[in-house]
Structure 1
Amino acid sequence: MKQVEIEDAARKAVFSPVDSRARVDAVVRRIGDAIELGLFADGEQLPGESELAGQLGVSTVTLREALMALRQQGLVTTRRGRGGGSFVSLPEVPADDRLKARLHGWSTEGLRDLGDHWAALSGAAARLAAQRTEPEDLRQLRRTAQELTHAEDAATRGRLYGRFHVELAAAAQSARLTREQVCLQSEIGALLCLVLSGDAYGEEVADRHRAVISAVQDGAHETAGTLAERCVRESTARLVAVRLTL
């Protein structure tokens, strides 16, 4: 798999056809999740309406309704005239009290269950990536791990953390795993800010990600899967610990 294909796989998964049920909601969630995860840069222009509708397998009417909902959520802005179109608008960092209120809505059992699902996805992705990729295909994952090392705030760390696991699924060359990771990060991604506020744990996560990359590069699929699972389970355990204090 060529490097450019690895880098584009996550975006291609975002723009693959949506489920036929509740298509407007499906488009809103698909694009909204990707924006909140940071797969698109602030101010980046989305494909034109006709092209995007075709990629998602929906009508232009459905797409316009979805874009309207995304505008109301503050995730997309629209400009008219020459040079116009739909542009990404990254959301503001959620306030700490809002995040804690959101976390409070989760039971510890629910968080652990979500963590189990996440660990299973990331573990499977790491094992497949170790079997399917070449060393030169891992530059995007290395870049994300490096950016996490230098990130200075919890919101950026949370986005990079989630993006790493989406890109790991993309490296596994599985569109379904990639879409599942995007959806999962929309549930848990913002909450990770609550455990990534300190520099020490951010550095620890970056080290864990680099270890996963090394195992994938070496083709050590079982080691890669185990390391990815441990990284996820550690973060989940930290979230559970925060939840118990609320």
Structure 2
Amino acid sequence: MTETPLREVRRAVYRPLRAGNALEDTVARLVQTVRLGVVAPGESLPPERELASRYEVSRDTVREAIRELADTGYLVRRRGRYGGTFVADPLPQAPHPGVVPLDELEDVLGLRRVLEAGAARTAAGRTLTPEARAELWARYEAATAADTAEYRRLDTLLHLTIAEVAGIPSLVALAAENRARVNAWLDTFPLLPRNIEHSNAQHERIVTAILTGRADAAEAAILEHLAGSEALLRGFLA
């Protein structure tokens, strides 16, 4: 990977918006950025001018989108020398979506299996640069060491790093959109300590398989890992 760490993930969340509902799409993309943990609670978003340029919308649209999210508690605006727009810390508690239609849930989870299993297999089949290998292992270690407040954010960044080291930029954008939808559901119920322990053990198997070039093992390990969270999502939501 010749890109700097998570550059493709950042490109995915800050890419130009489609023509049409500029305000709504800007709000949705900013929420996606927060849900994926690309900008952590307490950290600042890029300046309005930069966001407008990346999204290819007006600064007024960006400013209005930020105002909407500030009103709902996702963002905080600060003035002065060290001012800017910051992700709220802590984030507001996500409302429970109630019962999610089973066909919608299965569609999102089915796509996740295809994207993430394909990413793990492809990453394992590549000759990764030392920088990519170090970044992947560092993301695994960060997730393993995370407390409950940070776990889902760092778990998300590990999964997106796997997509990134697969070397297919468009895959990263699809994985980011899919993961944001999954995170919106995951954030409505509590983390389970035993589930975290199990996930960390599975993460080690996934990352080790990728780094040792064992594509079949990487794919099998990530599918086993995804099955655990799928069971929780079906239990809580379906």
Q: Is 2:126 the partner of 1:137?
A: no
CA-atom RMSD, angstroms? Answer: 2.6
The answer (yes or no) to whether the contact 2:121–2:216 under 8 Å persists in 1 is yes
| Matching residue within 182, 197, 200 for 1:203 | 197
User: Structure 1 unaligned runs (5+)?
Assistant: none
User: Matches of residues 11-26 of structure 1 in structure 2 within 5 Å?
Assistant: 11-26=10-25
User: Matches of residues 163-202 of structure 1 in structure 2 within 5 Å?
Assistant: 163-192=157-186, 197-202=191-196
- Percent identity, aligned pairs only, is 28
Decide which moves more: 212-221 or 142-151. Answer: 142-151
The answer (yes or no) to whether the contact 1:146–1:206 under 8 Å persists in 2 is no
Match of 1:45 in 2: 44
Q: Is 2:99 the partner of 1:105?
A: yes
TM-score normalised per structure 1: 0.82
Q: Is 2:140 the partner of 1:127?
A: no
TM-score normalised per structure 2: 0.85
Match of 1:159 in 2: 153
1:37-80 CA deviation, whole Å, 9 max, x = no partner?
22212222222222221122222222222222222222222223
**Tell me, what secondary structure is at the counterpart of 1:189?**
helix
Decide which moves more: 133-142 or 14-23. Answer: 133-142
The answer (yes or no) to whether the contact 1:115–1:233 under 8 Å persists in 2 is no
User: Structure 2 unaligned runs (5+)?
Assistant: none
The answer (yes or no) to whether the contact 1:166–1:182 under 8 Å persists in 2 is yes
**Displacement of 1:120 after TM fit?**
0.8
Q: CA separation of 1:90/1:225 partners in 2, compared to 1, >3 Å: closer, same or farther?
A: farther
User: Matches of residues 15-94 of structure 1 in structure 2 within 5 Å?
Assistant: 15-92=14-91, 94=93
Match of 2:6 in 1: 7
The answer (yes or no) to whether the contact 1:78–1:84 under 8 Å persists in 2 is yes
The residue type equivalent to 1:24 in the other structure is L
1:70-125 CA deviation, whole Å, 9 max, x = no partner?
22222222223433222222453637xx44xx2x3213443233211111111122
Q: CA separation of 1:136/1:151 partners in 2, compared to 1, >3 Å: closer, same or farther?
A: same
More helix, by proportion: 1
**Tell me, what secondary structure is at the counterpart of 2:19?**
coil
The answer (yes or no) to whether the contact 2:143–2:158 under 8 Å persists in 1 is no
Q: CA separation of 1:23/1:127 partners in 2, compared to 1, >3 Å: closer, same or farther?
A: farther
Match of 1:223 in 2: 217
Looking at structure 2, the residues matched to 77 and 198 of structure 1 have their Cα atoms a distance apart, in angstroms, of 29
Looking at structure 2, the residues matched to 224 and 33 of structure 1 have their Cα atoms a distance apart, in angstroms, of 27
The residue type equivalent to 1:191 in the other structure is W
Q: CA separation of 1:7/1:162 partners in 2, compared to 1, >3 Å: closer, same or farther?
A: closer
**Displacement of 1:236 after TM fit?**
0.3
Q: CA separation of 1:49/1:152 partners in 2, compared to 1, >3 Å: closer, same or farther?
A: closer
The answer (yes or no) to whether the contact 1:158–1:190 under 8 Å persists in 2 is no
**Tell me, what secondary structure is at the counterpart of 1:126?**
helix
**Displacement of 1:196 after TM fit?**
6.4
**Displacement of 1:35 after TM fit?**
1.1
Decide which moves more: 113-122 or 40-49. Answer: 40-49
The answer (yes or no) to whether the contact 1:18–1:57 under 8 Å persists in 2 is yes
**Displacement of 1:135 after TM fit?**
4.8
**Tell me, what secondary structure is at the counterpart of 1:83?**
coil
Q: CA separation of 1:89/1:129 partners in 2, compared to 1, >3 Å: closer, same or farther?
A: same
